[in-house]
């Protein structure tokens, strides 16, 4: 405890923001796995399961667009704590009697969860910009990579936890456990997070929610297709394919997806070492190159599935490779948006960017259920490859920047 007090105020706030984000992400990953597996068990079709996440993704779009404006006006501490509270409410909505758990009811609960997730994420990512000096871009890249990577590792752990809790406690018991734990984290955050953190010096007008920065707009469009490329196979198609076509049980499905996300998160934390070993922080050239590499992977997996070449091993190894390369792409984007964002009212640019991220997820989620049900997993992977190529094309328009001091 004494060592914690000796840390700088900026570092203490960074640790608190990170811990807050971690706790939220763990429950978010577990809830997603609980909903997919539980409602598949109840006999819902892949398209119906995809519809359960429709409002989750749609309201993520709306929240990122308006949440950045709220963060700049009210402070990131308030938007982060509001996100935690809304997630507790969303979990509580799933504790109603089973007869109430209709598609419409679950969609409303998922809408609240989507709002909560993106308020929390936007607040955490924006906060990092404010805690790092403008001339320390190397430090900014490392801190963003650690926050993003550790978050995704914990989301993977949440997938695993969701499958485990469903088997041990059942659906209601698992949801109750998570609601109580997150409520305690919310109370701690309310007491400890600095007031007016991230509040803009000049209160922005609502008309400023749309970014006027060309690099931010270009990167946002690339992000849309990058995350559409992941979720077009990951959200519905993959879990259902593993359960139905390969005969995996809940433990195996949750375990594999957990390992995928955990590995993805670990790679993200190491992205600065992989992409900038000589001290040069990344720019548009790196985003273009890594996107082109990524586009090859899902196309190759789809070809192996169509040719029926060691289907299970081709799929699993291919998706692990996809995870590594996708993690590097995602980490590059996460640094670039924070780098491009204006320091005063940073949440406006970051919120707009993550609005595009949520639009990509929404597009991918809907296509995942429809394409898988109509055409199968191989077509989902081909569409994924096409989306990554579009992200690469857009990345070609991102600016280059000068070399930065490796000591920064």
Q: What is the pLDDT of residue 89?
A: 94
Q: What is the pLDDT of residues 103-157, one digit of tens each?
A: 788 888 888 888 888 788 777 777 766 666 555 555 666 767 777 777 777 877 7
Residue 400 lies in a domain: no
Determine contact, residues 68/126, Cβ cutoff 8 Å: yes
**Domain containing residue 69: CATH number:** 1.20.1250.20
Query: What is the residue whose two structure tokens read 């640790």?
Result: 15
Q: What is the pLDDT of residue 190?
A: 81
Residue 171, burial from CB neighbour count under 10 angstroms (0-12, 13-18, 19+):
buried
Can you read off the two tokens belonging to residue 60? 């993520």
Residue 274 lies in a domain: yes
Going by C-alpha positions, the residue among 158, 141, 153, 140 that lies closest to residue 36 is 158
Residue 359 lies in a domain: yes
Determine contact, residues 32/166, Cβ cutoff 8 Å: no
C-alpha 239: how far from chain center:
18
Can you read off the two tokens belonging to residue 359? 């639009």
Report the domain count for the chain. Answer: 1
Residue 405 lies in a domain: no
Q: Is the dihedral of CA 130, 22, 280, 227 positive or negative?
A: negative
Residue 407 lies in a domain: no
Determine contact, residues 222/336, Cβ cutoff 8 Å: no
- The single-letter DSSP state of residue 127 is H
Residue 369: which domain range? 2-196+205-395
C-alpha 397: how far from chain center:
24
CA atoms within 13 A on the CB side of 20: 36
pLDDT tens, the chain, 408 aa long = 555 565 566 667 667 777 778 888 888 888 888 888 888 777 777 777 777 777 787 787 778 777 766 766 677 778 888 888 999 999 999 898 888 878 788 888 888 888 888 788 777 777 766 666 555 555 666 767 777 777 777 877 787 788 888 888 888 898 999 999 889 888 887 877 665 555 555 555 555 555 566 788 888 899 999 999 999 988 778 888 888 888 887 778 877 877 887 888 888 888 777 776 555 677 778 888 899 999 999 999 999 988 888 888 998 899 889 999 999 998 888 888 877 766 555 667 777 787 888 889 888 888 887 888 888 899 999 999 999 999 999 998 887 765 433 333
Determine contact, residues 275/328, Cβ cutoff 8 Å: yes
Residue 406 lies in a domain: no
Q: What is the pLDDT of residue 255?
A: 77
User: What is the C-alpha to C-alpha distance for residues 355 and 369, in angstroms, rounded to an integer?
Assistant: 22
Going by C-alpha positions, the residue among 17, 68, 31 that lies closest to residue 185 is 17
User: What is the C-alpha to C-alpha distance for residues 47 and 51, in angstroms, rounded to an integer?
Assistant: 6
Can you read off the two tokens belonging to residue 146? 């650690």
Residue 408 lies in a domain: no
Q: What is the pLDDT of residue 88?
A: 93
Q: Which residues contact 339 (CB under 8 A, 6 or more apart)?
A: 137, 140, 281, 401
- The single-letter DSSP state of residue 318 is H
Q: What is the pLDDT of residue 92?
A: 93
Determine contact, residues 143/131, Cβ cutoff 8 Å: yes
Q: What is the pLDDT of residue 325?
A: 93
Going by C-alpha positions, the residue among 87, 159, 161 that lies closest to residue 120 is 87
User: What is the C-alpha to C-alpha distance for residues 49 and 361, in angstroms, rounded to an integer?
Assistant: 15
Determine contact, residues 77/198, Cβ cutoff 8 Å: yes
Q: Which residues contact 227 (CB under 8 A, 6 or more apart)?
A: 357, 360, 361, 364
Phi-psi region at 404: left, alpha or beta (left = phi > 0; alpha = psi -120 to 50): beta
Phi-psi region at 7: left, alpha or beta (left = phi > 0; alpha = psi -120 to 50): beta
Total-model pTM: 0.73
Cα 216 to Cα 107, 228, 355: the distances in Å are: 31, 18, 12
């Amino acid at each position: 405890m004494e060592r914690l007090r000796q840390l700088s105020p900026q570092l203490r706030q960074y640790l608190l923001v990170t811990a807050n984000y971690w706790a939220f992400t763990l429950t978010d990953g577990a809830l997603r796995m609980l909903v997919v597996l539980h409602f598949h068990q109840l006999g819902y079709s892949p398209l119906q399961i995809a519809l359960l996440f429709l409002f989750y993704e749609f309201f993520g779009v709306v929240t990122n667009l308006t949440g950045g404006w709220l963060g700049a006006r009210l402070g990131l501490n308030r938007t982060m704590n509001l996100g935690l509270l809304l997630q507790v409410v969303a979990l509580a909505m799933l504790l109603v009697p089973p007869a109430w758990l209709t598609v419409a009811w679950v969609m409303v609960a998922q809408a609240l969860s989507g709002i909560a997730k993106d308020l929390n994420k936007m607040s955490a990512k924006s906060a990092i910009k404010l805690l790092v000096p403008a001339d320390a871009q190397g430090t900014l890249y490392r801190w963003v990579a650690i926050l993003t990577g550790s978050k995704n590792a914990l989301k993977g752990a949440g997938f695993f936890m969701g499958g485990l809790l469903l088997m041990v406690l059942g659906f209601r018991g698992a949801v109750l456990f998570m609601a109580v734990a997150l409520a305690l984290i919310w109370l701690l955050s309310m007491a400890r997070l600095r007031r007016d953190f991230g509040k803009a010096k000049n209160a922005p007008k609502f008309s400023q929610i749309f970014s006027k920065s060309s690099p931010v707009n270009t990167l946002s469009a690339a992000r849309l297709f990058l995350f559409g490329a992941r979720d077009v196979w990951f959200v519905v198609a993959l879990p259902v394919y593993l359960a139905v076509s390969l005969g995996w049980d809940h433990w195996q499905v949750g375990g594999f997806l957990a390992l995928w996300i955990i590995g993805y998160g670990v790679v993200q934390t190491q992205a600065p070492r992989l992409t900038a070993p000589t001290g040069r922080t990344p720019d548009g050239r790196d985003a273009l190159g890594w996107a082109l590499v990524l586009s090859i992977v899902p196309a190759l997996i789809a070809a192996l599935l169509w040719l029926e070449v060691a289907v299970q091993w081709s799929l699993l190894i291919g998706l692990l490779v996809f995870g590594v390369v996708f993690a590097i792409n995602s980490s590059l984007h996460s640094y670039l948006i924070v780098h491009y964002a204006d320091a005063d009212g940073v949440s406006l640019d970051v919120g707009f960017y993550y609005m595009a991220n949520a639009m990509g997820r929404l597009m991918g989620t809907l296509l995942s259920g429809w394409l898988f049900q109509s055409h199968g997993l191989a077509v989902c992977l081909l569409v994924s490859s096409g989306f990554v190529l579009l992200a690469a094309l857009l990345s070609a328009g991102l600016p280059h920047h000068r070399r930065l001091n490796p000591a920064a």
